[in-house]
């Protein structure tokens, strides 16, 4: 599709592993040209990460494949004078420079914000790091699990018996990448008005705490610290995971009318007039008793039947799926969420990658090419540099 909103935007991507590559993947899906600048002979560490050792050895590990479709790969050593000259030329044509080194690394390489701003006043420079570019922790190393722990996220994940637990996917990396992509898009919109670039300093710790919502705000506003509640929702009841005849079912009857419909459909209308469950606050106090009554009623039918019955009546309810089950959902297929691409280096396989959940003018955002092998676009860059030198 030619009407993607970032069509014509060029991104130089110096990032590794997840938060940065996830950010640039979002920009690519929105139409940007993303050029990965990778260390010669090594590349993004994610090239060697994933469950298949053979792919890791080939430099196309599953972690890399998931976040890098549609991008270009160029090998440059920013400590080598010739490669620095090439990078300098690329900076002049770039709209965005993205990196996720530890704070201060790019500055020590000679490419701090003051240098970049002089070289290209319209450049949007985004630095993603664990803690931001300033402050007493700015120089500390950080990975997703470190941020999950420091943010308080792990302390409220699980039950009182099992917490603290790591969230089952790298949520701090993903949130940090999304915040960076949002900030870059905002900076590009601002540049369209002023003509000036921006320096964006993204902290994964701060992004994660911002995303925690009520878990932080309840404490900040009311002084009530959150506690691990397993599969229950602290803000409402009945809202959590319940038993059925063949497996668990999520129900979020957060509004009074939803609670009343739920009670009618499970043939327990007596619960509506029970003083223990009369309103939201009463139901939260008596959550355990209410859940026991509902579980007994819900065990009479299988989860899918309840999902269809409750959801059809306006009560949010759905089964709990495994990842293999989730990727088979007809809803995802209908919206074109997945894209099949040629598998890098293996014509016998097909690579399926995710979109980002956005339709633009009714069309899903899709990568137009598979993830690049390391240095796949070296010749393209060097030819451009040669043409530039030869031009009158």
∠54-57-61 over CA atoms, to 5°? 75
Separation of alpha carbons 232 and 210, rounded Å: 21
Q: Are 204 and 129 in contact (CB under 8 A)?
A: yes
Give the chain's radius of gyration (CA, Å): 25
Tokens of 367: 């990568």
Quick check: is 173 catalytic? yes
The burial class, CB within 10 Å (0-12 / 13-18 / 19+), for 66 is buried
Please state, in angstroms and rounded to a whole number, the distance separating the CA atoms of residues 224 and 39: 48
* Tokens standing for residue 61: 């590990």
Q: Is the dihedral of CA 324, 170, 27, 41 positive or negative?
A: negative
For residues 271 and 216, give the distance between their C-alpha atoms in angstroms, rounded to a whole number.
32
Other beta carbons less than 10 A from residue 245's beta carbon: 13
Task: Look up residue 373 and give its DSSP letter.
Answer: P
The C-alpha atoms of residue 230 and residue 243 are separated, in whole angstroms, by 15
Q: Do the beta carbons of residue 232 and residue 240 sit within 8 Å? A: yes
Annotated catalytic residue within 13, 95, 144, 173: 173
Element (DSSP H or E) covering residue 33: strand 33-38
- What residues contact 153, with CB distance under 8 A and at least 6 apart? 167, 171, 172, 208, 212, 215
198 phi, psi to nearest 5 deg:
-145, 155
Helix (H) / strand (E) containing 363:
strand 363-364
Hey, which residues are catalytic here? Answer: 173
């Amino acid at each position: 599709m030619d009407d993607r909103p970032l069509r014509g935007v060029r991104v130089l991507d110096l990032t590794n592993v997840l938060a940065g590559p996830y950010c640039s993947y979002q920009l690519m899906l929105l139409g940007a040209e993303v050029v990965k600048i990778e260390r010669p002979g090594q590349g993004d560490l994610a090239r060697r990460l994933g469950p298949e050792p053979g792919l890791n050895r080939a430099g196309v590990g599953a972690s890399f494949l998931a976040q890098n479709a549609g991008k270009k790969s160029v090998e440059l050593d920013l400590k080598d004078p010739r490669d620095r000259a090439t990078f300098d030329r690329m900076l002049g044509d770039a709209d965005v420079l993205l990196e996720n080194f530890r704070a201060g690394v790019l500055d020590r390489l000679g490419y701090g914000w003051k240098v970049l701003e002089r070289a290209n006043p319209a450049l949007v420079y985004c630095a993603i790091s664990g803690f931001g570019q300033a402050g007493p922790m700015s120089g500390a190393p950080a990975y997703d699990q470190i941020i999950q722990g420091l943010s308080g996220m792990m302390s409220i994940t699980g039950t009182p018996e099992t917490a603290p637990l790591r969230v089952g996917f790298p949520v701090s990396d993903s949130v940090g990448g999304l915040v960076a992509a949002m900030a870059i898009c905002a900076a590009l919109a601002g540049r369209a008005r002023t003509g000036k670039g921006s320096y964006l300093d993204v902290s994964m710790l701060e992004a994660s705490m911002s995303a925690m919502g009520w878990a932080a705000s309840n404490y900040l506003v009311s002084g009530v610290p959150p506690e691990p509640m397993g599969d229950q929702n602290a803000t409402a009841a009945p809202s959590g995971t319940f038993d059925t005849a063949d497996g668990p079912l999520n129900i979020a009857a957060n509004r009074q009318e939803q609670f009343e419909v739920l009670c009618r459909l499970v043939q327990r209308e007596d619960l509506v007039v029970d003083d223990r469950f009369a309103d939201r606050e009463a139901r939260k106090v008596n959550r355990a008793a209410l859940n026991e009554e509902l579980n007994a009623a819900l065990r009479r039918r299988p989860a899918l039947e309840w999902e269809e019955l409750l959801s059809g009546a306006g009560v949010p309810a759905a089964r709990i799926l495994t990842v293999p089950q989730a990727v088979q959902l007809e809803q995802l297929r209908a919206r074109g969420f997945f894209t099949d691409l040629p598998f890098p280096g293996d014509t016998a396989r097909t690579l399926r990658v995710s979109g980002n959940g956005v339709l633009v003018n009714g069309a899903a955002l899709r990568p137009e090419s598979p993830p690049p092998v390391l240095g796949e676009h070296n010749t393209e860059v060097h030819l451009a540099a040669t043409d530039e030198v030869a031009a009158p």
